[in-house]
Amino acid sequence: MVLTPQALATGAFCPHGDFAIAGAAQGPLKGLTFAVKDIFDVAGHVTGGGNPDWLARHGPATRHAAAVQALLDAGAGILGKTITDEFAFSLNGQNLHYGTPKNAVTPDRIPGGSSCGSASAVGHGIVDFALGSDTGGSVRIPAALNGIFGIRPTHGAVDIAGVMKLAPSFDTVGWFARRADILRRVGDVLLPLDGAGIVPARFVPVEDAFELADAPVAACVRAALSRAAAALPLQTAIDLAGGLGGLGEWLRRFRRLQMREIWAAQGAWIEANNPKFGPEIAERFAMTKAAAATPPGDDAEFRAKVAAHLDAVLGRDGVLVMPTGATIAPPLKMSAEQLAHFRDRTLSLTCIAGLARLPQVQIPAGLVEGAAVGLSLIGPRGSDRALLALAERVAAKLG
């Protein structure tokens, strides 16, 4: 397994090593290839975390991350490691040190992050699937922007041992695929069985999510839902967040919670080593440090209320239906205002599953101005396999 010039031209793969590893001779994923985001340990190699200072100051991993080992044991082979935003702390997919992987649909626009290289590698057809992580949207958003499938599992459903921490109560192991059946097959290896009594039967549009999205994006997702109506018969839309302050308030709480956890996880190393970060990443770590120095308030209690609210809305048979992102991918040379607009409105949607620790599957929905748009399904806690099977049925209707 050798990276071809075509693969290297995507800018998706890490330059610091040959990570090709053959999978087991037999297994349910035999013959498939995958890529690994560079926050997952691969035995014998240093995990780079998207930052040269981190790479230089750590030793090689002594064992594979649990998810990597499971996939190798299932017969899939690693083709390479992929570029990530520094410390997995951005939605852009632009790395000051290693470059920007190409968006597989619109090369003049950002690929989305932080699992940018993994999404690019899958979107360009270099590998069959790829591992990423999703803390604030880092699988769901690059999957949507690259026109591919992706999943953020129920928090804790996939073993995260051997993966670099960002915000542990939000961190999840996710993955990408160009085909819904491959996304499901990977889930058959990595995921536990679903909780008892989970049968998706109520499909509920999230009206406040559609209202937040740009009108062409919302229209594209609604058109896809119309085409998939046989697999996804919709009930009356609901205002999901209005009773708890609205999505803007959910985002504010989400950010404060994450920033505290991020500084707790990485602040000591950053203070001791003073690594060189890109300007945006440096600014965001400064914000996490400042947030960690303030009283916690009732953010944890608010998160518990959101989770209880979503549990009540979903029950054991509900599925929330919504746009994955609020906008199309911004241009590579976006202004600070464009970046803030993209980030705030995107996180206002991705924080829903993150706050409640719920699974979410992204499905390609179509194009707006030539750029990819996605629709998402959020299910009850522990409904991951049912969501993947549902996504496969929806994808068949969408062609």
Count the neighbouring beta carbons within 10 Å of the beta carbon of residue 396. Answer: 13
Round to whole Å and give the CA distance between 312 and 314: 6
Considering Cα of 391, then 396, then 397, then 399, what sign does the dihedral take? positive
Determine whether 333 is an active site residue: no
Residue from 133, 138, 348, 376 carrying the catalytic annotation: 138
Please give the Cα distance from 14 to 307 (Å, whole number): 37
Residue of 114, 133, 348, 383 marked catalytic:
114
**Token pair of 139, please?**
């699988």
Nearest to 92 by CA among 341, 356, 364, 375: 341
| Cα separation values, 165 from 4, 41, 169, 222, 320, Å | 31, 12, 10, 36, 28
Tokens of 265: 């996880």
Whether 138 is catalytic is: yes
Query: Is 335 noted as a catalytic residue in this protein?
Result: no
Token pair belonging to 294:
């303030």
Residue 361 contacts residue 388 (beta carbons within 8 Å): yes
Measured between its terminal Cα atoms, the distance across the chain in Å is 31
Give the active site residue among 37, 120, 348, 376: 37
Helix (H) and strand (E) counts for the chain?
A: 13, 9
β strands within the chain, DSSP E = 33-37, 77-82, 129-134, 149-152, 172-177, 202-205, 318-323, 360-368, 371-378
How many other C-beta atoms can be found within 10 angstroms of the C-beta atom of residue 220?
23
Q: Which residues are catalytic?
A: 37, 114, 138
